[in-house]
Structure 1
Amino acid sequence: MRQIEQRFDNVGDEKLGWADIKESQRVKQVLYAEAIGLETLSLGDKKEEMLKLNYKGVFGYLPKSRIDNYEFKGLHHFLGKEFEFVVEMVDIEGHWFLADRIQALEVSARRFWKSAKVGQVMVGFIRGIDMSRLYLLVEGVPVVMNREEVSYSYIEDMRSEFEIGDTLDIKITKLEAPTEENPSGLLEVNAKVLSRDPWGQIGDYKEGGSYTAVITKIHPEHGVFLELVGVSGLTVRTNFPPNANPDVLKKGKKVTVKILEINHRDRRIKAITILPQRSINAGNRRGVRVIH
């Protein structure tokens, strides 16, 4: 009985899906669907890579050329992600539709400039990444966010933390609607302000005290970067301990740091990494010399 009810529910959802799809084709209503597959199909006289969408049980296709004006190398990272789209064409007999995201982004952007306000929290879609920046779409409007605006923690390479197609919550910090002089408008966003500033807990740590920390990064020139245990994002940088065993200085390892100075004005902590004597001796036995 439960299986029969489920089958009727699916049929009902599909009918509603077709109604939405036809309405989207007629008035360019923006819909959202998950990308569940990747296929290469013929569109006109050429073959094109396409995302296969599932909208309430109805399958549709979103060609690579109609995903975004941004150039993507591949589409595999989009699988499982949700996309906005408008319907360009419907094939009732074939039981599928053709989607266009670029038109949907244009519709969303017009809606954004009419209603968005400074301080509003929205969702940013990552359309591109390089080492220090995220290239986002916020309701169809492109914006670039630097690493300093993403997290209180230092992220050496943004590509190691994010993927194209990921989303993150952002807050609008500056907004100027498009004008004739500036047709693109002005949008600035920040994700970091939505999380707790770890420096607010610096009072729990004292100069001269020793604390457990986790190594987050090893830089051959700048030293060891660590995060104090118990405070996400409170980062400390130290020089390399002399004659340390290299096996100890690895990302993810727990070590002890001694805080020498807390600079409240520059929000910096001066510290040293303290290793067990056996870790130093092991380094000496192996003839290892760590520059510091």
Structure 2
Amino acid sequence: MEQHFDSVGEEQLAWADIKESQRVKQVLYAEAIGLETLSFGNKKEEMLKLNYKGVYGYLPKSRIDNYEFKGLHHFLGKEFEFVVEQVDLEGHWFLANRIEALEVSAKRFWKSAKVGQVLVGFIRGMDVSRLYLLVEGVPAIMGREDVSYSYIDDMRSEFEIGDTINVKITNLEAPTEENGDGVLEVSAKVLQRDPWGQIAHYKEGSSYSGIITKVHPLHGVFLELVPGLRVRTNFPPNANPTVLQKGKKITIKVLEINHRERRLKAITIIPQKSINAGRRGGRVVQ
């Protein structure tokens, strides 16, 4: 019986938050637990079903973001900010609006944001080399060079829409009449440990193993000795093509360590059997 009253109390507190959000546009947060298609106005629309402390609500696709999404399934299990647009006390549900919540968050952000702050970025989109983020409601584009010390060939293979990533503000300019959007630049890489600090464990003239991260027909073979510590090497003559594939482990010999330019020069060492596998009857197999 005591547990029953505790549960009722939590629900009453949740409803108090929801009503307050509708009244003063207070930003709340809830997890998307389902995806339903319901009638909204004169049309049917996909909606994320939210669970706010045991009270269920709906976030229509048209109220999620001004950014165009192809589908909503990748949002399931993710947390969203919202303000309450409508409350149905008899049906025990509420209608959420995230776009409005983002506007509220953005106004708050520009009043208090400072360079050096660490915040959470929401990934709203991506392409091969960039992540499109929302940081406290403010859009930001983060290029590959600011995501990680490790080389990421395609952002779409590493991240999903709706993921979050910790970022640090590196540049900030508040909106003006000339630039109504302002400027926000962020980096996730600056929060990570610099892998060049491990270069002391490597010596010129010595051999080490690494994992291939990319093979380029013109520029050679790219690999990592440890995450983020990258080196580009040559294409070994007559090597078996199956050896030089992304994800494969190969051996390199370090020829030079350039501390000033933070760069390694190395050559690939392929076992004789892997070279011979590329030949047949004394001829190189094409």
- TM-score, scaled to structure 1: 0.92
1:60-81 C-alpha deviation (Å, 9 max, x unpaired) = 1111111011111111111111
Q: 1:242–1:289: 8 Å Cα contact kept in structure 2?
A: no
Q: Does 1:15 align with 2:12?
A: yes
**Secondary structure of the residue that 1:244 maps to in structure 2?**
coil
**Secondary structure of the residue that 1:159 maps to in structure 2?**
helix
Q: Does 1:170 align with 2:185?
A: no
1:59-114 C-alpha deviation (Å, 9 max, x unpaired) = 11111111011111111111111100000001111111100000000000011011
Q: CA deviation at 1:289?
A: 5.0
Q: CA deviation at 1:277?
A: 1.7
Q: Does 1:252 align with 2:282?
A: no
1:174-210 C-alpha deviation (Å, 9 max, x unpaired) = 1122222322222111111000111122222122110
C-alpha distance in structure 2 between counterparts of 1:203 and 1:117, whole Å:
35
Q: Which of residues 265, 268, 271 in structure 2 aligns to 1:270?
A: 265
Letter of the 2:201 partner, please give it.
Answer: D
C-alpha distance in structure 2 between counterparts of 1:257 and 1:179, whole Å:
53
Q: 1:244–1:289: 8 Å Cα contact kept in structure 2?
A: no
Gaps of 5+ in 1: none
Select between 184-193 and 172-181 the one with higher mean Cα deviation: 172-181
**Secondary structure of the residue that 2:274 maps to in structure 1?**
helix
Query: Relative to 1, partners in 2 of residues 1:272 and 1:45: Cα closer, same or farther, differing over 3 Å?
Result: same
Aligned partner of 2:37 in structure 1 is 40
Q: CA deviation at 1:16?
A: 1.6
Q: CA deviation at 1:7?
A: 4.8
Letter of the 2:177 partner, please give it.
Answer: E
Q: 1:38–1:52: 8 Å Cα contact kept in structure 2?
A: yes
**Secondary structure of the residue that 1:248 maps to in structure 2?**
coil
Q: 1:58–1:95: 8 Å Cα contact kept in structure 2?
A: yes
**Secondary structure of the residue that 1:173 maps to in structure 2?**
strand
Q: Which of residues 193, 196, 203 in structure 1 aligns to 2:193?
A: 196
C-alpha distance in structure 1 between counterparts of 2:280 and 2:5, whole Å:
73
Aligned partner of 2:112 in structure 1 is 115
Aligned partner of 1:75 in structure 2 is 72
Q: 2:238–2:275: 8 Å Cα contact kept in structure 1?
A: yes
RMSD of aligned residue pairs (Cα, Å): 1.8
Query: Relative to 1, partners in 2 of residues 1:5 and 1:162: Cα closer, same or farther, differing over 3 Å?
Result: farther
The alignment covers a number of residue pairs equal to: 285
Letter of the 1:246 partner, please give it.
Answer: P
C-alpha distance in structure 2 between counterparts of 1:282 and 1:6, whole Å:
71
Aligned partner of 1:233 in structure 2 is 228
Q: 2:151–2:213: 8 Å Cα contact kept in structure 1?
A: no
C-alpha distance in structure 2 between counterparts of 1:246 and 1:166, whole Å:
36
Q: 1:223–1:240: 8 Å Cα contact kept in structure 2?
A: yes
- TM-score, scaled to structure 2: 0.94
Instruction: Quote the sequence identity (%).
Output: 81
Query: Relative to 1, partners in 2 of residues 1:212 and 1:5: Cα closer, same or farther, differing over 3 Å?
Result: farther
Aligned partner of 2:256 in structure 1 is 261
Q: Does 1:281 align with 2:253?
A: no
Gaps of 5+ in 2: none
**Secondary structure of the residue that 2:277 maps to in structure 1?**
helix
Q: CA deviation at 1:172?
A: 0.5
